[in-house]
Amino acid sequence: MLNEVQRNPRKADRIQRAMVYIDGYNLYYGLRDAYGGRYKWLDLQSLSRSFLKSNMELVGVKYFTAITKASNSHQRQAIYLKALEAHCDRLDIILGRFLSKIKRCRTCGAEYPSYEEKKTDVNIACHILNDAHRDGFDCCYVVSGDSDLVPPLGTC
């Protein structure tokens, strides 16, 4: 899901400042489910620029994620985040956290640990509202499959 919000559109002859907010896990699992591992090393800054109209300038990309607990995934994620930081000059990485829960199998009753990403939606909403309040963009895009972000977009 890609949402675009225009705030106080400037005159047509002026460049509009665009900000992109990316729900990292939502993007990762959406791409993985749709395309397999084909887009794991996605250039988020180039992706963000592809959304923009000709009268827009990318002023920032905010990538929201949490550090995974699985050791092999943790290592790959750390390498990817370092690559993003080195390659994307307009990128900010905002970290949430994982909450561990014990779940029970409905079939056999066995218990197993499960991890759930927390704070991403709240972090995205807070950053959008804060950036809008500080007049940090004229237009923003949100990359997420989560409809919980629709209400804060309406308040910008």
Give 3-state DSSP helix, strand, coil % of the chain, rounded to 5.
Answer: 40, 30, 30
Which of the two residues, 19 and 69, has the higher pLDDT score? 19
pLDDT band at 155 (very low <50, low <70, confident <90, very high): low
The residues spanned by each domain of the chain are: 2-155
pLDDT at 9 over 60: no
pLDDT band at 10 (very low <50, low <70, confident <90, very high): low
Q: Are 66 and 96 in contact (CB under 8 A)?
A: yes
What are 66-116's pLDDT values in tens digits?
887 765 777 788 888 888 888 888 899 999 887 778 888 889 988 887 777
Backbone angles phi, psi at 36, to 5 degrees: 75, -145
| Calpha distance 22→41 (Å, rounded) | 15
Domain 2-155 has CATH 3.40.50: yes
